[in-house]
Amino acid sequence: MQWEQLLSLKRQGDTSKRLRKEQDDTRLGFEVDYDRIIFSAAFRSLQDKTQVIPLSKTDFVHTRLTHSLEVSVVGRSLGRLVGKQVLEKRPYLAEIHGYQMNDFGAIVAAASLAHDIGNPPFGHSGEKAIGEYFTNGNGQQYKDQLSDKEWQDLIDFEGNANGFSVLTSSREGIEGALRISYATLGTFTKYPKESLPKKPTKNICDKKYGFFQQDKEFFAEVAKELGLIPNKSGNDIGFERHPLAYLVEAADDICYTIIDFEDGINLGLIQEEFALEYLIKLVKNGIDSKKYNELTTTEDRISYLRALAIGSLIQDAVKIFMANEEAILSGNFPFAIMDKSQYKAQMDDIIKISVKNVYQSKEVIEKEVIGYKVINVLLDVFCTAYINKSNGNPSNYDNLILKLLPERYQQEKASLYDRLLNICHFVSMLTDGKALQLFNTIQSNKS
**328 closest CA partner among 251, 242, 202, 253:** 242
pLDDT more than 70, % of the chain? 96
pLDDT > 90? residue 86: yes
How many residues are given for the chain? 447
Q: What percent of the chain stands above pLDDT 90?
A: 72
Which residues contact residue 219 at a Cβ distance below 8 angstroms, ignoring those fewer than 6 apart? 164, 189, 192, 210, 211, 237
242 Rama class: left (phi>0) / alpha (psi -120 to 50) / beta = beta
Residue 69 sits in a domain of what CATH number? 1.10.3210.10
Closest CA to 246 of 51, 79, 43, 116: 79
| Domain membership flag for residue 218 | no
pLDDT digits (tens, 9 = 90+) for 166-181: 999 877 667 667 899 9
pLDDT for the residue numbered 176: 65
**Helix, strand, or coil (residue 334):** coil
Q: What is the pLDDT of residue 173?
A: 61
Indicate if the pLDDT at residue 313 is higher than 70: yes
Asked if the model's pLDDT at residue 72 lies above 60, the reply is: yes
Q: For residue 224, tell me if it sits in a domain.
A: no
In a domain? residue 230: no
State the residue range of the domain holding 51.
8-113
Q: What DSSP character marks residue 50?
A: B
Dmax (CA) for the chain in angstroms is 74
Whether 58 is in a domain gets the answer: yes
Residue type at 228? Answer: L
The answer to whether residue 169 is domain-embedded is: no
Domain CATH code at residue 340: 1.10.3410.10
Amino acid residing at 185: L
Number of independent structural domains in the chain: 2
pLDDT at position 362: 79
Last residue of a domain, one of 347, 381, 410: 347
Residue 110 has pLDDT above 70, yes or no: yes
- Contact status, residue 93 vs residue 99, Cβ threshold 8 Å: yes
Residue 302 lies in a domain: yes
Report the amino acid identity of residue 433.
G
Q: Does 60 reside within a domain? A: yes
For the residues 424-432, what does the mean pLDDT come to?
A: 96
Q: Is the pLDDT of residue 33 over 80?
A: yes
Mean pLDDT, to the nearest integer, of 369-395? 95
Q: Is residue 3 part of a domain?
A: no
pLDDT at residue 360 in the model: 81
Give yes or no for residue 124 having a pLDDT over 90.
no
Where does a domain end: 347, 367, 400? 347
Q: Which residues contact 118 (CB under 8 A, 6 or more apart)?
A: 42, 159, 160, 161, 162, 163, 164, 165, 166, 428
pLDDT at 54 over 70: no
Contacting residues for 88 by C-beta, under 8 A, at least 6 apart: none
Q: Given a cut of 60, is residue 55 above it in pLDDT? A: no
For residue 230, the cross-strand partners are: 239
Of the three residues 347, 367, 383, the one that is the final residue of a domain is: 347
Tell whether the model's pLDDT for residue 59 goes beyond 60: no
CA pair distance 175, 179, nearest whole angstrom: 8
Q: How far apart are CA 84 and CA 184, in angstroms?
A: 18
Query: DSSP string covering 137-193, please?
Result: SGGGGGGGGS-HHHHHHHHT--HHHHHHHHHH--BTTBTTTT---HHHHHHH-SS-B
pLDDT at 311 over 70: yes
